[in-house]
Amino acid sequence: MDSVGTVKFENGTSVATPMVAGVAALLWAMDASLTPTLVRDYLVDGARAPRLNPSTGADSLPLPIADFGGDVVYQLDAYGSLSLLSRERSGTPICGYPLRVGDDNASVVLEPPGAAPRTLPVSNAFVSGVSVAQGGRLISAQGFPSVILNQTGTDVGRVQSVSRAFLEKDTVDYFDPPNSPYLHIALRRGDGTSVPDFDAVAPTYPPPDPPAGP
C-alpha cells in the first residue's frame, strides 16, 4: 500500500524473499536450536495449518493460491508457522493457544490444540488469574503470592502483594512489603537478569507531620 492508500500487487523472488526470511528469523528468535530443515518445514507446514475462519468462527484449512503444474502453493502465514512451532516444541514461547488457572487454584494449565494439556504446578500459592508476558516467554500467575514462571514452568520470582506491568521485554512489579512504608519495585529483564528490590521510590503513606516550631 502506498502513501495514498492504493494497494499494489507485486510478484517475484525480490518481493517474496524478504517476507520468507522475516518469518524464518522470527522462528529462530523463538527457538535458536532449529535447523534450517526444520525452519523450512515450519514455513511450509504453517502455511497449510488450520486457522480461524472469521466468517464461521471455526478452524478450517486454508485454500491454495496457485497450482503450478501440480505443485500446489499456499500463502505464507507467519502466525501459522509461529503458533505451530509453539504447540509442537516444549520450552518455546507460548503462541496461539490458551492457558488457564488449574481447577485446584495451585497450577497453570496450557492447552495446545491437538496435544495433551500441560500442567505447571505453582507451589505454596493460591492462583486466581493468569496471563502471558514478554512475548510468551513468561507466565504471570496472579494470586497470593503472585508468581512468575518461565515457559517450562520454573518459578523465577514471586512477591506478596503486586501490581504488574508488562513491557516489551521487561516485567516490572510494584509491591508493598510487610512493615515497610515504601513502595518497592522489582525489575525483571527479558534476558533473565533482574534488578534487586529497592525502596524509597514513592511513599505508600502520607509523610509524617513536620515537627512543631518553637
Work out the mean pLDDT of the chain and round it to a whole number.
Answer: 78
- Give the C-alpha separation, 142 to 147, whole Å: 7
- 45-55 b/e (C-beta count within 10 Å ≥ 16 → b): bbbbbebeeee
User: Would the pLDDT of 124 be above 80?
Assistant: yes
Share of the chain above pLDDT 70, in %: 76
pLDDT tens-digit map of 54-75: 777 777 888 888 777 777 888 8
Average of per-residue pLDDT across 119-133 = 84
Q: Which of 40, 60, 41, 62 minimizes the C-alpha distance to 52?
A: 60
User: Would the pLDDT of 188 be above 80?
Assistant: no
CA 115 to chain centre: 19
Q: Which amino acid is at 80?
A: G
User: Would the pLDDT of 203 be above 80?
Assistant: no
The residue that leads in pLDDT, 14 or 168, is 14
CB 160 within 8 A of CB 145: yes
164 pairs with which residues across the strands? 173
User: Would the pLDDT of 212 be above 60?
Assistant: no
CA distances from 151 to 5, 87, 145, 154 (A): 41, 12, 19, 8
- pTM over 0.85, yes/no: no
Compute the chain's Rg from CA coordinates: 23
Q: Which of 194, 158, 149, 154 minimizes the C-alpha distance to 177?
A: 158
Average of per-residue pLDDT across 170-194 = 68
